[in-house]
Amino acid sequence: MPAPGKHAFASVSFPGLLGCTSAMNDSGLALATLDAESTKDGSPKFDLSGVPLILSFRRVLEECTSVDEAVKLLSSVKRTTLMNLMICDKHGGVVIEMTPKNLVVRGPEEGLCLCTNHFRTPGLATSLECKRYAALEKSRDLARIGLPQVAENLHAVNKGNETIQTMI
């Protein structure tokens, strides 16, 4: 049961984790995190003075009903680290690329929002070379993308023991 004035949400997480890494709320707002490793904007990899992002993502789920509301909330929060957040509502989705210094919203290209653990926007990306992203881009060639194609494409880019979780 959510607190008064808060949205209920379901989260796929790890034991003892109070924040959210992959979740959906009762408004249909869904998110998933992809840690980023490096940035061109000079941000520290970790800023202790910020709010832990997984707690900010929980706030998004409890307080927001749309991608626009989530972007507004996350823009107002002092961020701790580097992160890609895939987020969608009933109207569509975006990738939010975040560092302690910057937040950039990247919309879909040709109807798809693709994301790996690397930034893609000019001010944040250290490189656009990524075999996994290139493999995911092949999804654009499909006439229709259904659950089997998504599962197959995600499996094709997993990194074995380095892949902690894959979610559809």
19-37 pLDDT, tens digit each: 899 999 999 999 999 999 9
Structural domain includes residue 48: yes
**Amino acid identity of 77?**
V
Q: In what order do the strands lie in the sheet with 83-89?
A: 9-12, 22-25, 30-35, 83-89, 92-98, 103-106
Q: Which residue has the higher pLDDT, 109 or 142?
A: 109
- How many domains, in total, are found in the chain? 1
Task: Residue 39: give the domain boundaries.
Answer: 9-129
pTM exceeds 0.95: no
Structural domain includes residue 141: no
Is the pLDDT reported for residue 76 higher than 80?
yes
From the CB of residue 20, how many other CB atoms can be counted at a distance below 10 Å?
26
Structural domain includes residue 142: no
Structural domain includes residue 25: yes
Percent of the residues in the chain that have a pLDDT greater than 90, as a whole number:
63
**pLDDT score recorded for residue 150:** 79
Percent of the residues in the chain that have a pLDDT greater than 70, as a whole number:
99
Please state, in angstroms and rounded to a whole number, the distance separating the CA atoms of residues 100 and 18: 21
**Least confident among 78-82, 113-117, 164-168:** 164-168
Q: What is the CATH number of the domain that holds 80?
A: 3.60.60.10
Q: Record the tokens describing residue 67, joined without a space.
A: 């991608």
Structural domain includes residue 3: no
Structural domain includes residue 21: yes
Band (pLDDT 50/70/90 cuts) for residue 112 is confident
